[in-house]
A and B are shown apart, each in its own frame.
Chain A
Amino acid sequence: MAQVFKRYHNTVARATIGGGLLALIALVLGGSSITRSPWWTRAGEPPDQPVPFSHKHHAEELGIDCRYCHWSVTKSAHAGVPPAEVCMTCHSQIWTNSPLLQPIRDSYEKDQPIVWNKVNDLPEFVYFDHSIHVNKGIGCNECHAGIEKMQLTAKSQPFSMWWCLNCHRNPEKYIRPKGEVFNMSYKVPRTAEEMRALLEKHGIQWNGKLPRNQEELGALLVNQYNIHKEQLSDCSVCHR
């Protein structure tokens, strides 16, 4: 009986096995990089909104504090989308005839809420609390990076679990003095003088050794703000 398998079938078999493994690895790697990519998470993609509100104009150019509109951010889990009433504090005086603001005026007059589209969202099984983050030195633009530059508001971070855990496991990499939380132009001090000035400005004590970089500043702040790293990555902190 003639041989069913020729010699070259060995190569085919090896290629199939090896290729199959490679394909599997490629699938996993490709899949995970696709799902982390902005194309999938829609980071950087502003959804349509009833009013084309510009954070760049209001927050950066006019310098309105975040808490003017999102006033519950320091006290509540929700930062809050401002009611039309808040918009009207200024827009009853300026741009009173702008057609772009018509939905705001309607909402205020008829006491009917504006239906915005979600920019950032978390799954139902994740519990995020704004107030504890801003009260413990996590700046607004750590998560809402570049919000002050956005003409139209878009998600700027993936908001996936590995991204959250990055900080929950190593908060010293991201923490800043509490007084700088709402400072959109905050930069980590580069020089010792800047560092000293920053710490003195916020009345932060350091023991002898002045921190030189974010890691050391972060470690100092984590200690001073009583942040317990071990506890931060407990599942029940976010899932309950």
Chain B
Amino acid sequence: MEAKRNEDRLWRSWNEWVDTPELKAQTQREFAPEAAPHSDFVSRRQFLKLMGASLAMAGLSACGYKPQGPIIARAKIPEEALPGESLYYATAVTLSGYAKGVLARVYEGRPIKLEGNELHPASLGATDAITQAEILNLYDPDRSQSLLKFGQIQPWQVFTSELTQQLALQQAKQGAGIHLLTGVITSPSLAAQIQAFLKAYPKAKWYQWEAVNNDNLYAGTRLAFGEFLNPIYRLRQAKVILALDSDFLYMGPAAVRYAREFADGRRVRENQREMNRLYVAEPMPTVTGFTADHRLPIHSSRIGLLAAAIARAINAPIQINATGQLTPDEQKWAEVVARDLMAHRGESVVIVGEAQPPEVHAIAFAINAALGNLGKTIVFTAPPEAKPTLCTEDIRTLAKEMEAGQVEVLIMLGTNPAYDAPADLNFAELIPKVPFSVHLSRYTDETSALCVWHIPESHPFETWGDARAFDGTVTIQQPLIFPLYPNTRSALELMATLNGQGGKQPFELVQSHWKSAKIVPDAQFDAFWRKSVHDGVMARTALPVKTVALRTNLSVNLPTWTAEAQLPQPTPTSLELRFAPDPTMYDGRYANNTWLQELPKPVSRICWDNLAFMSLKTARELGVVGNEKVAFVHDSAPLIQIRVNGRTLIAAAYPIPGHVDNAITLHLGYGRTRAGSSGSGTGFNAYTLRTSDAMWFTSGAEATTTGQRYPVARTEEHHLIEHEQLDSLHHRPIMLIGTLKEFNDDPHLTKKRHGESGELPSMYRGYKYDRYKNPNNYRYAWAMVIDPTVCTGCSACVTACQAENNIPVVGKTEVIRQREMFWLRIDRYFKGSPDNPRTYQLPVPCMQCENAPCELVCPVAATVHSEEGLNQMVYNRCVGTRYCSNNCPYKVRRFNYYRYTYYRQPVLHLLQNPDVTVRGRGVMEKCTYCVQRINRARIQAKKENRRIRDGEIVPACQQACPTGAITFGDINDPDSTVSRLRREPHLFTMLEELNTRPRTTYLAKIENPNPELNMEAHDAGSH
């Protein structure tokens, strides 16, 4: 059955790959069977009564509007504030200590949206999904608001007096009993406070712990160069990139920048016909792997062998002792990649991920050195962290000391070790042994529950602070809102309290630190400070590039993964178990952020859960799916029991295309018990299997099915475009895919289009948008072009859209009913065998059709065409017939089955964008091209009596996109960026045969495969 399948066919899910009749039936109907019915039982008689009453009342309520409610003007108004206008402030969002610069839009004193900061090196004007969602963390109603001692609310005075007492006791023994545990800290002012504290208590100790950490990287640089170093990649110069188990386009403090630089080397245009090439070797597909030109599924434990093979092929100056064999295919892959790397000396780079052991990092540095990449595509600085350390060593030492009873005072700033520390340390059991434990955090989480004192932490948007970016650049974090809760304190304030500076304002603490740092002479400090705060970056703080040299006679011993010794070759009965940071939960800290919970994960398209991912073959062998015909239930997955080293975990299992066989990948960050009302109790806690000697992968795991099933919100089969078999061999393709070579031969890719294009006759009313082309007439025709060649599927646009447009979260049960509300979805297509398919990502917003099928069927004219070509949605007219959605071939309309935006907690009202209507129950909604931003720009331009400039309107999705894949603008202006893109030869219209004339169009997806590695999928495409 599988052999007969056309290899060129695109498929979106397992059911589509198998071609189940159930899925076919489902794609033919607009609404999933479970999306439509209403659960409440209503008798016919009651139904008629209700309908009659609601008809009468709807008629009445629509009749008039009376002014009501208060109007509250400020008593005094700051100089720069204009009522009704937003102000933008530069600040930074931190993750694991590292800053990403943002501009926060603050409306009437409340921050409502984050945009990238173009001046910031880690942002370059864009953000990622996690950064976008940070605003929701601020308003999270589950945030801790009070000091707790053993769970009882206490005033600050009680805490400070107890603290003073404890510190006085410790003073005598120079603080020998005091232990600080923090996350990774880059903040110079916080670090200075900690150093001052350690000076006052010289025997006190400071440890840092992050569950997702740089240990392997630092140990690798120490191995290769003799010191801890921070590598920075310059991908714009890189023509060939090899990523070994590294998700550098998505994870890490510089991912947004790397994605931009990577995309800049990849934008294929008629007059720009070069692109870089990305090779990825990894066990489970990641955003980076899905973007690669060649992807090799390989076990984590065998990536070292692959690196060694490449190192040998290019004569890297490193002695590698390893046993174990690559398969012939892997060997060939390594050789071809090595040749390609050697052909691009100084213009290539090898990147290794955090999960790989230090030896593999060292091998990669040696390869980069041999290729002459050091100082070109990869440079080194000192680590931006205040005290670079190996986190796993730190937490292990601390646990030992706690065990031994040496810890009398434990002060934890913001970490959650009771949840995420390695399982073998039993950290949760050790905390209660500490007589005086203090935990500062934004939630009363797993660790808070075990501590004597819990101190509520302020959100960085409520206070002053600072943080460094991946390259050391400092951002001053400024408050965007008055603290929501009076008792919260930042880590900086708590440290100041410990240092006896409790009365000092955070502003003073930060500013005085930088004044004493003497970056500029005192006389210039005020101007320097103002500029730093205003720009969101502090000049002269980026760390200098270090000249480094590989240690001579460098030699590494790769652990003998495949010999009979420690780690046997993974087999069905001895699986490799991998841990990876969750794409949206990271290490679990975002568990209560519902935007990130509901965001379909960039690779798996699952939301609200983590699953045990494996290959289809392994899933069959383990009995997760049937052997003969795969029938995938849309709303649940089987539970399996995973056993490794005497630890067990029950988790739902799901196969994912492209996963390596005989391995299971678990994402960290789920299965929390005290995350908050939304984050607790979802998913499975992978930390229970993660031990300090195997932080990222281990072998010898076993898995058996339990016979039970677990509900799973799997969005990959939601809102499917109905398209006959997605068979580009016989039909017009859903997306245009070609190789760089094919593009160079024929930039129109005519052969692949399968069908004539151009003006088709239509029975629709002809709108004439170009009658306004006179430049003195300020008339516009809006359009969008999306470039899937550079789209990585990172989903930043989806969350940005959600934040901008007040899109509600519906919850897991509703998502299972296919009722998620995202206006912008990212379609994921596979091509070829599920062992290692080619993958394509396609963001799909509303197409804003010129011949819009939705408009014709609306009985109340709630969706109508605008003069500028927008397909407008008028919420207040909509009566919810859903005909429009039924008639939409692109499946971009979303219906409010319930009143999803209904907040019991008033704090969430502060989050809403005042420029966008909050939709009620029974109303259809969809992407508007951010019409509020269009209107704002149009009003501004009209006031200034000019045309809207190209690039003046940036929709939220385009604004957030790290790779610049989305372009919006006016096609009545022939010189606009979007007009120029629409003239590109490889422009492609989705479902062009329907003659809807969409305003959203796509460029072809261009790949750059290496002809030496003729992967089957590429072969099949070029007949």
A127 to B59, CA, bound (A): 23
Is there an interface contact between B945 and A118, defined as CB atoms closer than 8 Å?
A: no
Interface size on B (CB < 8 Å)?
46
Is there an interface contact between A76 and B82, defined as CB atoms closer than 8 Å?
A: yes
On chain B, the residues within 8 Å of A135 by CB distance are 942-943
The reply to whether the CB of A78 lies closer than 8 angstroms to some CB of chain B is yes
Contact segment of A56-64, A206-214, A230-238: A230-238
B940-978 contacts to A (CB < 8 Å): 942-943, 945
The reply to whether the CB of A150 lies closer than 8 angstroms to some CB of chain B is no
On chain A, the residues within 8 Å of B866 by CB distance are 231, 234-236
In the complex, which residue of chain B has the Cβ closest to the Cβ of A76? Answer: B84
Is there an interface contact between A228 and B874, defined as CB atoms closer than 8 Å?
A: no
The reply to whether the CB of A160 lies closer than 8 angstroms to some CB of chain B is yes
Majority SS at the chain B contact face: loop
Is there an interface contact between B75 and A112, defined as CB atoms closer than 8 Å?
A: yes
Query: Least Cβ distance of A42 to chain B in Å?
Result: 5
A85 to B934, CA, bound (A): 35
Beyond A85-B76, A120-B67, whether A231 also contacts B870 by CB under 8 A is no
Is there an interface contact between A239 and B779, defined as CB atoms closer than 8 Å?
A: no
Beyond A40-B63, A239-B917, whether A82 also contacts B70 by CB under 8 A is no
Is there an interface contact between B942 and A116, defined as CB atoms closer than 8 Å?
A: no
Query: Least Cβ distance of B1022 to chain A in Å?
Result: 45
Beyond A76-B85, A236-B928, whether A226 also contacts B73 by CB under 8 A is no
Is there an interface contact between A108 and B870, defined as CB atoms closer than 8 Å?
A: no
Is there an interface contact between B65 and A226, defined as CB atoms closer than 8 Å?
A: no
Beyond A235-B866, A239-B917, whether A77 also contacts B928 by CB under 8 A is no
Beyond A132-B939, A236-B935, whether A85 also contacts B875 by CB under 8 A is no
On chain A, the residues within 8 Å of B73 by CB distance are 80-84, 113-114, 116
In the complex, which residue of chain A has the Cβ closest to the Cβ of B66? Answer: A42
How does the 8 Å CB contact mask read for A28-42 relative to B, with 1 for contact and 0 for none?
000110111000111
Interface size on A (CB < 8 Å)?
59
How does the 8 Å CB contact mask read for A174-212 relative to B, with 1 for contact and 0 for none?
000000000000000000000000000000000000000
Is there an interface contact between B872 and A235, defined as CB atoms closer than 8 Å?
A: yes
In the complex, which residue of chain B has the Cβ closest to the Cβ of A233? Answer: B867
Query: Least Cβ distance of A67 to chain B in Å?
Result: 13
Is there an interface contact between A226 and B64, defined as CB atoms closer than 8 Å?
A: no
The reply to whether the CB of B931 lies closer than 8 angstroms to some CB of chain A is yes
B44-69 contacts to A (CB < 8 Å): 59-60, 63-69
On chain A, the residues within 8 Å of B935 by CB distance are 127, 129, 236-237, 240
A75 to B73, CA, bound (A): 17
User: How many A-B Cβ pairs are below 8 Å?
Assistant: 154
Is there an interface contact between A41 and B916, defined as CB atoms closer than 8 Å?
A: no
On chain B, the residues within 8 Å of A121 by CB distance are 65-69
The reply to whether the CB of B72 lies closer than 8 angstroms to some CB of chain A is yes
Is there an interface contact between A32 and B63, defined as CB atoms closer than 8 Å?
A: yes
Is there an interface contact between A75 and B71, defined as CB atoms closer than 8 Å?
A: no
Is there an interface contact between B778 and A123, defined as CB atoms closer than 8 Å?
A: no
The reply to whether the CB of B763 lies closer than 8 angstroms to some CB of chain A is no
Of A110, A118, A158, A237, the contact of B70 (CB 8 Å cutoff): A118
In the complex, which residue of chain A has the Cβ closest to the Cβ of B81? Answer: A72
Beyond A76-B82, A83-B76, whether A41 also contacts B942 by CB under 8 A is no
The reply to whether the CB of B142 lies closer than 8 angstroms to some CB of chain A is no
On chain A, the residues within 8 Å of B778 by CB distance are 226, 228
B234-266 contacts to A (CB < 8 Å): none
Is there an interface contact between B71 and A83, defined as CB atoms closer than 8 Å?
A: no
On chain A, the residues within 8 Å of B85 by CB distance are 72, 75-77
A78 to B82, CA, bound (A): 9
A108, A116, A125, A237 — most chain B CB neighbours (10 Å): A125
On chain A, the residues within 8 Å of B779 by CB distance are 228, 231
The reply to whether the CB of A111 lies closer than 8 angstroms to some CB of chain B is yes
Query: Least Cβ distance of A117 to chain B in Å?
Result: 6
Is there an interface contact between A113 and B942, defined as CB atoms closer than 8 Å?
A: no
A235 to B876, CA, bound (A): 11
On chain A, the residues within 8 Å of B76 by CB distance are 83-85, 108, 111
Is there an interface contact between A234 and B872, defined as CB atoms closer than 8 Å?
A: yes
Is there an interface contact between A226 and B916, defined as CB atoms closer than 8 Å?
A: no
Is there an interface contact between B66 and A41, defined as CB atoms closer than 8 Å?
A: yes
On chain B, the residues within 8 Å of A78 by CB distance are 83-84
On chain A, the residues within 8 Å of B777 by CB distance are 226, 228
Query: Least Cβ distance of A237 to chain B in Å?
Result: 7
A41 to B68, CA, bound (A): 11
Of B864, B867, B917, B943, the contact of A124 (CB 8 Å cutoff): B917
On chain B, the residues within 8 Å of A158 by CB distance are 64
Of B67, B915, B918, the contact of A47 (CB 8 Å cutoff): B67
The reply to whether the CB of B319 lies closer than 8 angstroms to some CB of chain A is no
The reply to whether the CB of A107 lies closer than 8 angstroms to some CB of chain B is yes
Is there an interface contact between A240 and B928, defined as CB atoms closer than 8 Å?
A: yes
Beyond A80-B73, A111-B76, whether A132 also contacts B942 by CB under 8 A is yes
On chain B, the residues within 8 Å of A226 by CB distance are 777-778, 942, 945
- Give 17 CB contacts A-B under 8 Å: A31-B60, A36-B64, A72-B85, A78-B84, A84-B75, A85-B77, A112-B75, A115-B70, A116-B70, A117-B71, A123-B65, A226-B777, A226-B778, A226-B942, A228-B779, A234-B872, A239-B872
